[in-house]
């Protein structure tokens, strides 16, 4: 039990120190830093791609729920089937983007602003448990770059975890031929959480861009272009002069 007590002491100490350093301040926070032409050219295609794919997934799932509520269970499940492909494609883009940001983290030249992944913003059990662990670990990390790196890795793990669970539940229901109300509720909650993860990923990507030197932008853009799935809009590698 000593290690449990020691862990609680560390968490409590971290919480106190964060308060002293005003890391939990609820005061007004600065808005997003203007990107400039070169960074905007990198950000805009990815933002458009993520927003478009997320909208398509959301519409597909909403249509599935409407068909279910209308008593058209076969049509509803066909739409869920179509949604699994769109979900997988979006998850692939999200994970590839987060991996690239994490790879270029050592090149960040200024403190990276970090958003909080609050547990209460998530709805599915699997994400609530993950975010509770994240909040505990975050209390012990004080350096801005390390906190942002933890943020990126948590988003990546969250995207992979909720996607894997969605696929597992879908295939289990498909094999059993049973789409229970509990399953539909789970799909609804996990879809909400995945949409939130996608939005947080885009915000993190935007926050990271101003922290890269101009000389690193071309390499970063080329790396993103190389890891994006086929069909994703190309990323400019132009650099401001």
8-state DSSP, 234: P
Contact of 99 with 227, CB cutoff 8 Å: yes
Contact of 193 with 87, CB cutoff 8 Å: no
94-123 burial, b at 16+ Cβ within 10 Å, e below that, comes to bbbbbbbbbebbeebeeebbbeebeeeebb
∠ Cα 158 121 63 (to 5°): 80
237 confidence band (pLDDT: 50, 70, 90): low
174 confidence band (pLDDT: 50, 70, 90): confident
- The lowest-confidence range among 27-36, 162-171, 222-231 is 27-36
Find the distance separating the first CA and the last CA of the chain, reported in whole Å.
60
Q: What is the pLDDT of residues 51-89, one digit of tens each?
A: 999 999 999 999 999 998 998 888 988 998 889 989 999
Q: What is the pLDDT of residues 98-146, one digit of tens each?
A: 999 999 998 888 777 677 788 889 999 999 999 888 877 777 766 777 8
């Amino acid at each position: 039990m000593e290690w449990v007590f020691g862990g609680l002491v560390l968490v409590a100490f971290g919480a106190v120190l964060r308060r002293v350093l005003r890391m939990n301040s609820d005061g007004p926070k600065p808005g997003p830093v203007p990107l400039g032409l070169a960074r905007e050219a990198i950000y805009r295609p990815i933002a458009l791609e993520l927003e478009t794919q997320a909208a398509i997934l959301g519409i597909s799932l909403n249509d599935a729920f409407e068909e279910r509520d209308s008593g058209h269970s076969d049509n509803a499940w066909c739409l869920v089937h179509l949604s699994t492909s769109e979900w997988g494609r979006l998850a692939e883009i999200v994970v590839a983007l987060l991996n690239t940001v994490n790879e270029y983290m050592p090149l960040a030249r200024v403190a990276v602003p970090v958003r909080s992944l609050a547990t209460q913003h998530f709805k599915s059990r699997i994400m609530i448990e993950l975010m509770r662990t994240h909040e505990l670990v975050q209390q012990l990390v004080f350096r801005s770059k390390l906190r942002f790196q933890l943020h990126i890795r948590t988003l990546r793990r969250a995207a992979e975890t909720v996607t894997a669970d969605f696929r597992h539940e879908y295939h289990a229901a498909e094999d059993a031929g049973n789409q229970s109300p509990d399953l539909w509720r789970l799909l609804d909650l996990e879809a909400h959480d995945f949409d939130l993860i996608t939005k947080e990923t885009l915000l993190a990507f935007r926050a990271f861009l101003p922290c890269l030197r101009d000389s690193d932008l071309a390499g970063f853009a080329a790396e993103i272009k190389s890891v994006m799935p086929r069909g994703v809009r190309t990323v400019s590698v132009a650099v401001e002069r």
